[in-house]
Amino acid sequence: MGLVVELRNVSKAFGGISALDSINLGVEEGEIYALLGPSGSGKTSLLKIMALLDDPTSGEVYYGGEKVTEKNVQQTRMQATMVFQKTAVFDTTVHKNIAYGLKLRGMPEDQIRKEASEALKQVGLEGFEKREAKNLSGGEQQRVALARALALKTRLVLLDEPTANLDPRNASMIEDIISSANKTSKTTFVMATHNIFQARTLPHRIALLQDGSIKETGASADVFSSLSRTLASFAAVDNTFTGDAKPSVSGTTLVDLGNGVQIEMTEAKAGKVSVFVDPKEIIISRKRFASSARNVLRGRITEVKDAGNVVKIIIDVGKPFTVQITKKSLAEMKLSLGTEVYLAFKASSVQAI
């Protein structure tokens, strides 16, 4: 297997501000490659250059070992397609959405119907051809966008945060579609993500990006086997802690986070560990409540952050835990700075990184 796309010393600047600095990477045919990093690390800029939608300020891009130049860029661009983070579907039927790119490539109508039907089957939307794409749910629209890309059967599919705006069920479906297309059709994917757990399980290889530079690359298992400072910094956005783990009498693992805070997790670990708890999986209440959750902690609200449609609340329980709730819940529970609250989350919600 050769390299589908290769970047050599690629840099990108916008108005004198560096977005990418001397990027070198190669994506092998038939693999899933992840660009992992926080917002602003350069992931989208890198994808656009790989998709030949944007030119690097300096450096070279190669497809199949051939350097991309002004003479061949239009033809080479046909080898890749990109699905953007913000789902964009045309205000027409699902079939016409998928057929659009195929028509631009001059494909006969009967072949378009066949390819569109196969693509919808790949994403689990058989029978959706006549539905209006704009009337579908967010998860369904994302699957339409993915089907539109898969129907083109390009050598490379580039995905910008493909599950960032989806609930866990739809996110899992998208991940399964990517994995299945890679295995059955040998489709090569490059995906940008800030989700460390997605990067741990889905891709074959990952590149850790920070401040426009690649800090580390390798097989996912190798990168995650030792928690580097760079990787830890990605995870340290919300609810990432380091502590000492030991088995409990109930078969779970107790993790001592220090300052009097202990939590339970289902994964068997011992010794020094780093763990993460998704803010969306924590329940908050003003009163202590009966719960089957292994972890119940009491603390006080120290900060309230507006995060668009939701609110992130920082609660000091001896360690700062972030909880994500709706603005409606914030108002109904009359939560404010200094309010004493209880947190509850399952042992299975604690993930080792």
Could you give the domains of the chain? Answer: 3-234 (3.40.50.300), 240-352 (2.40.50.100)
Question: Mind listing the pLDDT tens digit for each residue in 154-194?
Answer: 999 999 999 887 877 888 899 999 999 999 999 999 999 98
Q: Using CA atoms, how far apart are residues 315 and 108, in angstroms rounded to an integer?
A: 60
Q: Using CA atoms, how far apart are residues 284 and 341, in angstroms rounded to an integer?
A: 7
**What proportion of the chain, given as a percentage, has pLDDT over 90?**
68
User: Which band of pLDDT confidence, cut at 50, 70 and 90, is reported for residue 228?
Assistant: low
pLDDT at 237 over 60: no
Q: Using CA atoms, how far apart are residues 296 and 239, in angstroms rounded to an integer?
A: 15
The helix (H) or strand (E) run that includes residue 213 is strand 213-219
Question: Mind listing the pLDDT tens digit for each residue in 260-319?
Answer: 999 999 989 999 988 888 888 899 999 987 777 889 999 999 999 887 678 889 999 999
Sheet (strand 240-247) strand order: 261-265, 253-258, 240-247, 271-277, 350-352
Q: What is the largest CA-CA distance in the chain?
A: 68
**What proportion of the chain, given as a percentage, has pLDDT over 70?**
96
What's the whole-number average pLDDT of the chain? Answer: 90
Q: What pLDDT does 353 receive?
A: 72
Q: Which residue has the tokens 């390299």?
A: 3
pTM: 0.70
| E strand segments, 1-92 | 3-14, 17-28, 32-36, 58-63, 66-67, 80-83
Question: Mind listing the pLDDT tens digit for each residue in 39-69?
Answer: 889 999 999 999 999 999 999 999 999 999 9
Q: What is the CB neighbour count within 10 angstroms for residue 38?
A: 15
User: Which band of pLDDT confidence, cut at 50, 70 and 90, is reported for residue 340?
Assistant: very high
Question: What are the helix (H) ranges across the chain?
Answer: 43-50, 73-76, 94-104, 109-122, 138-151, 168-185, 196-201, 220-225, 229-235, 327-332
Q: Please, which residues bridge with residue 34 across strands?
A: 191, 206
Q: Please, which residues bridge with residue 185 across strands?
A: none
Q: What pLDDT does 198 receive?
A: 84
Q: Could you tell me which of 246, 216, 248, 231 has the C-alpha nearest to residue 353?
A: 231
Q: What pLDDT does 230 receive?
A: 66
Q: Please, which residues bridge with residue 158 across strands?
A: 82, 190
